[in-house]
Structure 1
Amino acid sequence: MTLNYHRSIATSKPWTFLKLLFVWKASIWKAVYLELLSFLIVYGIISAYRSFEAVVRFFDNRLYYIPMELVLGFFCTQAFNRWTKQVESLGYVDSVALMTALYLRGNDEQARIYRRSIVRYCELIQVLVFRDISMRVRRRFPTLDTVVAAGFMMPHEKELFESYNDKLSSSSSKYWIPANWAFAITQQAWEEGNIESPYYRVVLQEEIKQFRTKLAWVFNYDWVPLPLIYPQVICLVVHFYFIVCLLSRQTIISDHVMKGEIDTYSPVMTSLQFVFYMGWLKVIEALLNPYGEDDDDFETNFLIDRNIAMYMRILFEMKKYISSSDILFSAEFSRVYVALV
């Protein structure tokens, strides 16, 4: 059906017919846009072929405008510092177990329960934190029932833990609850005489606090990542740099090319540069979230199993060792020097 535009030009004004140029339906633009697009593409190909050398030189002379080393180096430093802090905050339960075995004394059943519960609660904090930041641990402990089945939490403790859902919002973390239980046991053990001195109690509580603080830092680093615009800029810079290299590193074939230049058919040095810069970017990506599932990410499940085995050995398997005089106590001992080859 013919488009009726009489109403649009009923009144003669300077812009009346100008408005008709922007009508799409039944317009000249709709009729010829495919042919026009084909013409422009062919023209652009021919034009690019004729001016290819100028384009290559243009991009090659301005490639240094992109500060690759500065951008990658600065961002890698920030990511590495965060990664280092997270390594330091992984949470090894050795100190807590050693201080518990040393200061919480007694061979009766109640004392053994106190010692084991304190370290178990500390390990429970780690399991709860890792469940929320590591997919590997999340698959291992998808629910609190699996945490109970693994022995980190007792059924009545699970009910008490879940009862805080009514008192706290669902978005509030509850990692402090096992730490509070551990502090309560140290206080009770001191009142019952299993911890002989208030100083011993304070030292033990300080170890528990430091362990909890480290895991709090782990959670905070996962909760507050680097601003999104930062990795976006880095990713954009690196990829745009090599997009420009597709043009700037082309070999120019013309009469006025410098004599002696070799056409290697493949960009050898640019390929090395790609490996180094892109590898640098991959290093940063791995450092940003070390609790993922990449080859170099933290083995969180191994750390949990290692802590379990370690505190079991410290609390139950290690016997008192009475040292005897060694060779250094002998009056006839003389220094032995080993010749360096």
Structure 2
Amino acid sequence: MTISYSDKFLSLLLRWKGSLWKAIWKHLLLFIFLYYCINIAYRFFMTPVQQELFLRYILIFDDFTKYIPLTFLLGFYVAMIVRRWWACCQLISWPDHLLFNISALIRGSDPETRIIRRTIARYAILTSVLAWRSISLRVLKRYPTDEHLVSSGLMTREELAIFKNIHVKVDPHQKWFVPVNWIQTMMVRCFEKGTLTHTNELRVLLDALEKFRNGFFQLFIYDWIAIPLVYTQVSTISVYGYFAFALIGRQYPSVNQFREPVDVYFPVFTILQFLFYVGWLKVGEDLMFPFGADDEDFEFNYILDRNLEVSFLIVDELHNQVPPVYVESLKDDIELLHTKGSANLTNHPQRQHLRKYKMKEGDKKIYFEHKVHPMTASVVSETHSACSFSDIEQAMLSPNHDNEGIRRLGRETEGALKEASAPAPPYPSISSSGPQGRTLAAVPAGDGPPRLVTPRQSISAHRAAATGLTNHRPS
């Protein structure tokens, strides 16, 4: 059975948990009650003279509402709170990264190594409980005392005695870092014993532990340093002040200022404004402290249950586990299949923005540009040389190269370049035998005198000229 978009919208509209209606229904009922109290008093208990005077006050109060920059104040306030809320969400510490490194580097199936890995996983969950119960109402109600930690198996009696002997004068409840220190000590002892064979392995584990610890520390900062109370008061007073003026300014009298009958018994647009603005304010108030027990607050108890199960899977049951791999799997074809439902979905593959660009046929031709002396005109030639540049380079780089063959290839290349250039350069080409039998060719060097270069340097210069790039290699 297919659910239409109208049914989805209706289900979202009628949803109660975490909804707008649950957040503001008390405020909305109070606003409507006060509105109709004033409306009834105007209609049935005022004389015509009093109604005329009250009509003037309606116009004045309605004009007052235009001077409250409600959209600006609420927009900036809620945007700042949402950024803060999302930052807190990203700082929730998950032990997966730490325990994956533990399982990969502290290897072994003997009882001692298994106990080390499982103890580190238990200490990671214990750290989460000790840290989160200081800021989360859900975790505090679940583990109000240290005895509850012993009853759940997160801490032994010996560990509880050691934990209680640690005294912190500034804040005795902030001892959540003690299990982190225990984990660090176990890592160092594994390195001293030889379970960790290199300092880099210890460094990886300590970095993962530091990242795990930093999430708790940052959450404590967000819980400690709240948004300034002045800003919260400004936003709250502006919203409730706006609708206090709207109680009178949005009344519908029996006649308007032009003595025309205008009578609407239900203020539709005022109610919509109340839903938007007060609901917007409630969003900021609910997200300001996401560690409570409201519908949209962080589910730390679920996170603890999930982390406990996954942690022991990683360090114990999944340790050193891999499915068997067979040689026959090399011949297995993998094909990504579609169901009937997924095949009918719209597909938007990646498309490059130059996919429809077409070059002109003339722009596709390869050409060589031979630079000559600045006093003469540059000549563009499409004539191919008698021998390729790669032939000369391979002949020069070969261990048993033939000097006479190199000179012959150099002369052929020089002759081809002469034929492709018109008029000839003012500096004549000079062929001479350089060190180790390498052929030297004179080519102009900018505005200065000609310099002697090897065929490889000459070829590189012509290649750079053909591609339009400048070669800055030293001569």
Q: Which whole-Å CA distance do the structure 2 matches of 1:168 and 1:155 have between them?
A: 23
Q: Deviations over 1:296-326 (max 9, x none)?
A: 1111111111100010111122261146379
What is the CA distance between 1:81 and its match in structure 2?
A: 1.0
Aligned residue type for 1:302: Y
Deviation at 1:328, TM superposition (A): 9.1
Q: Could you tell me how far apart the structure 2 residues matched to 1:274 and 1:177 are?
A: 50
Q: Which residue of 1 aligns with 2:322?
A: 321
2:121–2:312 contact (8 Å) kept in structure 1: no
Deviations along 1:270-297, one digit per CA (max 9) or x if unpaired, are 1011011111111111101111111111
The answer (yes or no) to whether the contact 1:120–1:152 under 8 Å persists in 2 is yes
| Alignment of 1:306 onto 2:306 | yes
The alpha-carbon distance between structure 1 residues 182 and 254, as it changes in their structure 2 partners (threshold 3 A), is: same
* In structure 2, C-alpha distance between the alignment counterparts of 1:291 and 1:333, rounded to whole Å: 46
The equivalent of 1:174 in structure 2 is 175
| Normalised TM-score (structure 2) | 0.58
1:150 to 146, 149, 152: 152
Q: Rg: which structure is higher?
A: 2
Deviates more, 1:67-76 or 1:48-57: 48-57
Inter-partner Cα distance in structure 2 for 1:100 and 1:73: 45
Letter in 2 for 1:190: F
RMSD: 2.6
Partner of 1:278: 278
Aligned pair in 2 of structure 1 residues 64, 107: CA closer, same or farther (>3 Å)?
same
Q: 1: CA distance between counterparts of 2:74 and 2:145?
A: 40
- Corresponding position: 1:72 with 2:82: no
Q: Describe the shift of the 1:251–1:313 C-alpha distance in structure 2 as closer, same or farther (beyond 3 A).
A: same
| Equivalent runs, 1:222-261 vs 2, <5 Å | 222-254=223-255, 256-257=257-258
Q: Please state whether the residue corresponding to 1:164 is helix, strand or coil.
A: coil
Higher share of residues assigned helix: 1
Aligned to 1:53: 55
Identity of aligned residues (%): 32
**What SS does the corresponding residue of 2:125 show, helix, strand or coil?**
helix
Which letter maps to 2:169? L
Q: Quick check: 1:96–1:119 contact (8 Å CA) kept in 2?
A: no
Task: Give 2:121's aligned amino acid.
Answer: V
Contact 2:81 2:287 (8 Å CA) reproduced: yes
Alpha-carbon separation, structure 1, partners of 2:223 and 2:145? 20
TM-score norm. by structure 1 comes to 0.79
Cα offset for 1:222? 1.0
- In structure 2, what is the Cα distance between the partners aligned to 1:200 and 1:296? 40
**Alpha-carbon distance in structure 1 between the residues aligned to 2:212 and 2:201:** 17
Correspondence list, 1:202-241, <5 A = 202-241=203-242
Structure 1 stretch 124-133 or stretch 248-257: which is displaced more? Answer: 248-257
Q: 1:253, CA displacement in angstroms?
A: 3.2
Q: Note if contact 2:137-2:293 (Cα within 8 Å) is conserved in structure 1.
A: yes
Task: Name the counterpart of 1:10.
Answer: none
Q: Cα gap change, 1:163/1:329 in structure 2, threshold over 3 Å: closer, same or farther?
A: same
Q: Deviations over 1:43-96 (max 9, x none)?
A: xx8886442111111121231211111111111111111110111111111111
Corresponding pairs, count: 295
| Deviation for aligned residue 1:109 | 1.8
Note if 1:293 corresponds to 2:304: no
Does the 8 A contact of 1:238 with 1:277 survive in 2? yes
| Contact 1:122 1:212 survives alignment (8 Å) | no
For structure 2, list consecutive stretches of 5 or more residues without a partner in the other structure: 1-45, 346-475
CA distance in 1, matches of 2:327, 2:137: 50
The answer on 1:87 being equivalent to 2:89 is yes
Q: Is 2:143 the counterpart of 1:124?
A: no
Task: State the one-letter code of the partner of 1:89.
Answer: L
Distance 1:68 1:328 in 2: 66
Equivalent-residue separation in structure 2 for 1:181 and 1:87 (angstroms): 27
Provide the C-alpha distance between the structure 1 equivalents of 2:332 and 2:162, rounded to a whole number of angstroms.
Answer: 63
Alpha-carbon distance, 1:175 to partner = 2.2
Contact 1:122–1:208, Cα closer than 8 Å, also in 2: no
Asked if structure 2 preserves the Cα contact closer than 8 Å seen for 1:115 and 1:315, the reply is: yes
How many angstroms apart in 1 are the aligned matches of 2:217 and 2:129? 12
